[in-house]
A and B are shown apart, each in its own frame.
Chain A
């Protein structure tokens, strides 16, 4: 008699049959999931790497190769997967002759719907932001999502002033998002009308990240410049 028949004829199914079925299915499930995970993981890692490289080349003009670093108050470390090194991940972009073209950094802040994550470029020579690229967002289509492609808006970030103050402890002028059409200074961001909250989130995240990271970048600039050769 099969177990299905037993279930029909007897009101009590042996506990063992239930345990066996659930246990067996769970094992089979585990096996399948782990197999697929093992197979797809290198491909997914590669996809993520390509996506980051593409984003880096978008925010730093003229970049040919990149190198990952971890940067914090404790210093600058090459990102080699060493667990003891701590800090925020930054990507140093180099030109064809190995010269430092700029640094790409990640930033995040809460937008209208959910957290917006961006990658943005910083140029150490002009001390300015050179481009942004949205990595993840869930802003309203047709309104907030314009922060990803609105050309007039993206012009804000071609050379956004991010000079350090004389003590080199923070920005000379805080980066702020201003009402649409009222941009006067180089460190102001002209918001998109109809997407004020999303625009402000971008300004806020660049300011927060910049106040913290730009002084550290300038401090470790020499190490970053030779990073490619080292």
Chain B
């Protein structure tokens, strides 16, 4: 009965996995880089930010998908923003209730989840067109992908910048921390290094594939 151009997607493992790897919001789509760079100066901040974003992403995708047939397209962006802002406010209060130290460490970036383009992007490009089940699974995948990406940055930056992970001393006290790693430039360095690594892996995979194809073509 839907006249929407996009086909309804069946829920498969791929619906979830896409967010982790193929369409990873940070490493592939390069979305939501503001919190990625700003709050990954420690592992704990990265985990908290990742989980907060995951919750907002899943909750807003669910609601948008539930209401997708009732939202006139002229007011859809305004509606999505209200929905997202609601869940962000909820997360804001919940984090304050869990730990004030954590809340102070994350600063304004909790509120700024409202403007995280990963979430609005999912609402507009996916949840507004797909069934609730597919939207939830897809949002979980994207949220998990985002959290993993934050963790990749957070652990490396904390390890090099403070010699610890989750506050536990990893290097001996002789290790002089690279303070730059927990400062803003460190975010760019580490993100750049991860992107380089993933691009290298991707290219090697493609080359192997090409080589394999070449071999079968010669063989025939």
User: In chain B, what residue has the closest Cβ to A19?
Assistant: B75
B89 proximity list for chain A (CB < 8 A): 33, 36
In Å, the complex CA distance between A146 and B100 comes to: 21
Cβ distance A181 to chain B, nearest Cβ, rounded Å = 22
Q: Which residue of the partner chain B has the closest CB to A143? A: B179
B3 touches A8 (CB 8 A): yes
Within the complex, the shortest CB–CB distance from B70 to chain A, in Å, comes to 6
B207 within 8 A of A: no
Residues of B contacting A126 with CB < 8 Å? none
Contact partner, A44, options B67, B93, B183, Cβ 8 Å: B93
Judged by a CB distance under 8 angstroms, whether B41 is at the interface is: yes
Tell me the residues in window 74-111 of chain B with beta carbons closer than 8 Å to chain A beta carbons.
74-75, 78-79, 82-83, 85-86, 89-90, 93-94, 96-97, 99-100, 104, 107
Q: Is the CB of B70 within 8 A of A40?
A: no
Total number of A residues with any Cβ neighbor in B under 8 Å: 33
Question: Is there a chain A Cβ closer than 8 Å to B177's Cβ?
Answer: yes
Known: A47-B97, A51-B100. A18 touches B72 (CB 8 A): yes
Main SS at interface, chain B: helix
Check B85–A29 contact: CB distance below 8 A.
yes
- A17 CB-CB contact with B under 8 Å: yes
Task: Indicate if A223 sits at the interface (CB-CB under 8 A).
Answer: no
Provide the residues of chain B in CB contact with A21, threshold 8 Å.
67, 70-72, 75, 79
Do B83 and A29 have beta carbons less than 8 Å apart?
yes
Question: Is A5 an interface position by the 8 A CB rule?
Answer: yes
Contacts of A226 in B (CB 8 A): none
- Expressed in whole angstroms, the minimum distance between the Cβ of B151 and any Cβ of chain A is 19
Tell me if A25 is interfacial: C-beta within 8 Å of chain B: yes
- Chain B interface residue count, Cβ-Cβ cutoff 8 angstroms: 34
Using CB atoms, name the residue of chain A closest to B76: A21
A44–B74 contact, CB under 8 A?
Answer: no
B73 at interface, CB cutoff 8 A: yes
Select from chain A the residue with minimum beta-carbon distance to B100: A47
Interface residue? B139 (CB, 8 A): no
Tell me whether A22 and B79 are in contact (CB under 8 A): yes
Q: Within the complex, which residue of B2, B69, B94, B104 is in contact with A36, where a contact is CB–CB below 8 Å?
A: B94
Question: CA separation between A47 and B89, bound complex, in Å?
Answer: 18
Contact A7 B96 (CB under 8 A): no
Are A3 and B69 CB-contacts (below 8 A) given A21-B79, A33-B89, A141-B41? yes
Q: How far is the CA of A194 from the CA of B97 in the complex (A)?
A: 36
User: In the bound complex, do residue A44 and residue B72 qualify as a contact, i.e. CB atoms below 8 Å apart?
Assistant: no
> Is residue A166 within 8 Å, beta carbon to beta carbon, of the partner chain?
no
Q: How far is the CA of A28 from the CA of B104 in the complex (A)?
A: 29
Q: Is B93 in contact with A40, judged by CB distance below 8 angstroms?
A: yes
B44 interface contact, C-beta 8 A: no
Complex Cα gap A9–B3 (Å): 9
A32 to chain B: which residues have CB within 8 Å? 86, 90
Minimum Cβ distance to chain B for residue A134 (Å): 10
Q: Which residue of A lies closest to B88 (CB)?
A: A33
Q: Which residue of B lies closest to A17 (CB)?
A: B72
Say yes or no: A141 contacts B179, CB within 8 Å.
Answer: yes
Q: Are B75 and A29 in contact, CB atoms less than 8 angstroms apart?
A: no
Q: Report the bound CA distance from A41 to B94 in whole Å.
A: 9
- Interchain CB contact under 8 A, B90 and A141: no
Q: Tell me if A142 is interfacial: C-beta within 8 Å of chain B.
A: yes
Complex-state Cα separation, A17 to B74, whole angstroms: 10
**Which 5 pairs across A and B sit closest by C-beta, in order of nearness?**
A142-B179, A29-B86, A4-B69, A43-B97, A40-B97
Q: List 22 A-B contacts (CB under 8 A).
A: A2-B69, A2-B70, A7-B73, A13-B72, A18-B72, A18-B74, A21-B71, A21-B72, A21-B75, A22-B75, A32-B90, A36-B90, A36-B93, A36-B94, A37-B93, A40-B97, A43-B97, A44-B97, A138-B107, A141-B161, A142-B179, A142-B182
Q: What 4 new A-B contacts, CB under 8 Å, besides A36-B93, A140-B183, A141-B182?
A: A18-B72, A18-B74, A44-B96, A142-B179
Q: Which residues of A contact B (CB under 8 A)?
A: 2-5, 7-9, 13, 17-18, 21-22, 25-26, 28-29, 32-33, 36-37, 40-41, 43-44, 47-48, 51, 136, 138, 140-143
